[in-house]
Every structure is written in C-alpha cells, then in structure tokens.
C-alpha cells in the first residue's frame, strides 16, 4: 500500500483552492495538511506541517510560487513541488527549480493523478523502504527508472510544444552556415526528418498527438489543435498514415 502523501495547497484564489480540494477528494492515499493564500503563508505552514508535496500557484501576492519554491528547497524534509497555474510561460523556469510537474488550469483529474503518482514514487519513505528490501538504488528499480525517463521526456516535449506555440517550425531549424564544409540541403532535410520521426514529431517538428498522449500530455495536444498548430492528419516524418 502506498504511503499517505501529505499535501499543501497554495493559491490566492479561493475557487482554485476549492477546485483542488475537490479533485484531491477523489484520489486515494493523500492528506491535505494545509492551505495557503500566498507564498509567505505557504512557507510558514510548510515549516509546521512538513508536507511531502506543495501544489503552488505561480501568481500570488506577497511572494509568488517560483520564489516560494526556491525557499522551499531549504526546508527539512524538502517537499516536492508541482506548479498549478493558468500561464504556460513559466514552464521552463519551473522545471529549472526541479518541479516534478506543471499543471495548467483548469486542472483535470487524470493529469493531477499522474502528477501525484510521480510524487508518491519520489517520497523519501518509499525510497528508504526499497533500501530495507535490499534493492540497490544505484542499479535502480525498473519501474522507477521508467518513470524518471518518462518524466525527462515529458519535460523536453512540453518545452518543445511551448516553443511551437511561440512559432517554432521546421524552417527555423537550420544549422549555422559554417556548420558544414559543403552544404547539401536535401541531405540536411533528410537528417532533420529522421530526427523528427525519432522524437515522435510531425513534419513541422511539432510533437504528434500520439506522442503527447503517451507522455500524459493529451491536454497539450488539445490546446495545440484548438490553436490550429497541430493536425491529426500530419504524420511523423518518414512514417506512413
């Protein structure tokens, strides 16, 4: 049975806190230990309640979520961080702070569950239990290695999707003029296409819906389709329909 995950919620808007509380009520093995209206309050409550996980909004008065996460790294035990925000522009900065996930509002139950599954796997008590079972963490447990690799892929794919939203397309990805002694446009495009296929991106260098859903980023695929950036009909380079 999984350890109980102690969670602190921090959001300056009461409806947002209520929404998270309702969603968490449908998830097993969690306990909400505190709710805060700003970052300063969140740190004070965290020092008292020692949560395993902090669900942080980013735009809050007195102290925003990013600064709160920085200070939270000094707490003992150090809580994991998941950002919950309506803004995608902070994603890269959030992952620089070692956040284990970044949830865009309105938050869906499935996405929240996936994020909490990672938090459960990263609990110190879980890792310590593995040590007592005689498992060498230096070698790794297969399920944990897979989760960590998937997390890495999710972060890289999310950053790629954000750059696509900002306008990044295939035409922008040319090597520097002095990269090759002799330029061969056809060969460069072939290599780029193979790279896109390997990454699970379409011919424009945009992650496909299949790739996004495999990484539990179906909501990102929905957003890209609504914006007309991603089409279900565009296949990864080098793949047939």
- Average pLDDT of each block of 10 consecutive residues along the chain (241 residues)? 84 95 93 96 96 95 94 91 85 77 88 87 58 44 61 85 90 71 79 88 94 90 92 53 33
> What does the pLDDT read at residue 192?
87
Is-contact 157 196, C-beta < 8 A? no
Residues of the chain with CATH 3.40.50.2300: 5-140
> What does the pLDDT read at residue 137?
42
> What does the pLDDT read at residue 101?
86
Is-contact 59 85, C-beta < 8 A? yes
> What does the pLDDT read at residue 98?
78
> What does the pLDDT read at residue 125?
59
Q: Which CATH architecture has domain 145-226?
A: Orthogonal Bundle (1.10)
Q: Among the CATH numbers 2.20.25.650, 3.40.50.620, 3.40.50.2300, 1.10.3720.10, which is that of 5-140?
A: 3.40.50.2300
Length of the chain: 241
> What does the pLDDT read at residue 232?
67
Residues of the chain with CATH 1.10.599.10: 145-226
Give the whole-angstrom CA distance, residue 91 versus residue 167: 17
Q: Within 13 Å of residue 148, how many CA atoms lie on the same side as its CB?
A: 8
> What does the pLDDT read at residue 57?
95
Give the whole-angstrom CA distance, residue 141 versus residue 130: 9
Is-contact 51 6, C-beta < 8 A? yes
Is-contact 79 43, C-beta < 8 A? no
Give the whole-angstrom CA distance, residue 123 versus residue 95: 18
> What does the pLDDT read at residue 180?
59
* Residue 21, CA distances (Å) to 27, 37, 69, 205 in order: 10, 14, 20, 38
Residue 145 burial (CB count, 10 A): 11
What interhelical angle do 109-121 and 14-24 show, nearest 10? 70
Instruction: Tell me how many degrees the CA angle 116-60-68 measures, rounded to the nearest 5.
Output: 60
pTM, full prediction: 0.57
């Amino acid at each position: 049975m999984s350890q109980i995950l102690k969670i602190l919620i921090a959001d300056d808007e009461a409806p947002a806190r209520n929404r998270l509380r309702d969603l968490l009520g449908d998830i097993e093995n969690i306990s909400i230990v505190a709710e805060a209206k700003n970052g300063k309050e969140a740190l004070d409550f965290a020092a008292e309640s020692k949560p395993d996980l902090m669900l942080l909004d980013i735009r809050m008065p007195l102290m925003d979520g990013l600064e709160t996460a920085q200070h939270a790294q000094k707490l003992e035990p150090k809580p994991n961080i998941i950002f919950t925000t309506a803004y995608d522009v902070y994603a890269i900065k959030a992952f620089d702070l070692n956040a284990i996930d970044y949830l865009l509002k309105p938050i869906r139950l499935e996405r929240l569950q996936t994020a909490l599954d990672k938090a459960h796997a990263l609990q110190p008590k879980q890792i310590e239990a593995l040590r007592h079972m005689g498992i060498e963490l230096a070698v790794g447990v297969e399920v944990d290695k897979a989760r960590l690799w998937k997390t890495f892929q999710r972060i890289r794919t999310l950053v790629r999707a954000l750059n696509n939203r900002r306008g990044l397309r295939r035409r922008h990805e040319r090597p520097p003029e002095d990269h090759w002694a002799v330029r061969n446009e056809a060969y460069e495009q072939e290599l780029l296409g193979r790279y896109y296929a390997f990454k699970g991106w379409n011919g424009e260098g945009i992650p496909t819906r299949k790739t996004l859903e495999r990484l539990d980023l179906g909501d990102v695929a929905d957003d890209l389709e609504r914006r007309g950036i991603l089409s279900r009909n565009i296949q990864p380079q080098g793949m047939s329909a």
